[in-house]
Amino acid sequence: MSPAPAPQGVQVLTLDDALALADVRNETVLIAEAGVRRARGVEAQVHSQRLPQLTGAASYDRTLKSEFEGIFDADSIGGGEDGGDNAFADLPFGQPNAYRLGLSFSQLIYAGGRERALERQARFGRESASLSVGQTKAQLAFDVAQAFYDAALADRIFGIADETLAQATRTLEQTRTKREAGLVSEFEQLRAQVDRDTLQAPRVRAGNNRDVAYFRLKQLVDLPLGEHIQLAAQLDDPRLAPAARFATRLAEAEATPTPRLRTAVTQADLGVQVSEEGVTIADAQRKPAIALQSAYGVVNYPSTFPGVEDWRQNWTVGIGLQLPILTGGRIKAEQNIARADLDGAKARLQLVKELSDLDDASARASLNAAHAQWETTAGTIQQAGRAYEIAELRFREGLSTQLELSDARLLLASAQVTRARAARDLQLTRVRFALLPELPLGTAGIAAGGEAVVQAADSNGTASAGAPQAPAAGATATPAATGAQGARQ
């Protein structure tokens, strides 16, 4: 069944269009991608610790008062006025000006394996962050698909409510005609009037729920809330093909009988490896750290500005060693913490594997159930539609009562809502099953997309047809009874 052409100025939005818009503009994806860039920065930062370190320094000191002032004057050392040159004039003690330039070099030689363990930890963190981007995009795609099909279902439910109101209006007009002809009583006309008026408020609620569902979808795809859109989602299509974007992945997943590898399992495995490196880092603290060190500097003590030939040099080369002797039990405590983290990470990995297998089996069962439910509704809606046609004809010919027509209308509306909701659930279950490897654990449940027919009993105990309703997008609706209860009490 081809969709009706969109009115002038209305944008037709397919599921692929919505997913493309959300993937480009969504803030959660940008945050996850920023996390990858940060992880790469941490990896480069840790790797730099193993490379040579060279630092330059320059300084100028102006001495205002010094304890060495006058000590090395010619008079104070016995030279008097004719004592000749002061041999101590170039010493650094008490000089008013001091210029210093220097270079410091260090190269880590051995740290007990700590630096390599830190590098591996950083690499695992970067890989986990990259996987998180895929998870975020998969969750976003699922959220957009849910909002898309929720809006489509709300749209369909509003259409059913509008159609049900139109049916009740036709019944009222027929009853008025019969009343004018003296064929029915005033009570029958009042009953038809109340039946029609009762359906107006639920129709308004269905329209409001549709608007809210559309707002939720526009927010996810970053469209202005005032943008006029029309969804290209035919929930009443008898073929109900999977969304084109997920069709290939869905077929491959259905053909694979074994559980697929989940991103959550891979991340949990990376968490175990990070904890193992944490144990290595904690153990490395008991081992010595050895580094090659060198320092080169020049200094000048001029009376005003330094000359080219007045610089004095300092240059040292050495090897430094650090070894903890007494730490008050800190290293032992950190080793215990690291091993506890490793045990917890291993247990978490096993739990995630079990939940992943359970999630996969649950998703397969849900897909089969959704498909079976959708198929069973096909015959029901055909029968309900035929029953209403017969009931309307019988009422028009005066062969049945208004109660019989109301019951048939209720059955038809209930079947239409059930069919639309089954189509929405099937499409959304397909999307989830296709995205399952990248989705976080615990997204097995799919919120109900709409409520069934609301029924109101009149004072005589006769059920009258109410308008279908859909909850706000993202909320889990409480399903009402889908069967008609039109029998007299």
Q: Which fold has domain 11-43+121-271+338-469?
A: Outer membrane efflux proteins (OEP) (1.20.1600)
Cα–Cα distance between 207 and 155 in angstroms, integer?
A: 8
pLDDT tens digits, 116-156: 999 999 999 999 999 999 999 999 999 999 999 999 999 99
Could you tell me which residue, 111 or 463, shows the higher pLDDT? Answer: 111
Cα–Cα distance between 162 and 419 in angstroms, integer?
A: 17
pLDDT tens digits, 429-452: 999 999 999 999 876 455 554 443
Single-letter amino acid code for the residue at 393: L
pLDDT at 471 (0 to 100): 38
pLDDT at 295 (0 to 100): 96
Q: Where are the domains of the chain?
A: 11-43+121-271+338-469, 56-64+91-110+289-322
Cα–Cα distance between 94 and 301 in angstroms, integer?
A: 10
Cα–Cα distance between 118 and 284 in angstroms, integer?
A: 11
pLDDT at 451 (0 to 100): 41
Cα–Cα distance between 249 and 430 in angstroms, integer?
A: 10
pLDDT at 6 (0 to 100): 57
Cα–Cα distance between 363 and 445 in angstroms, integer?
A: 9
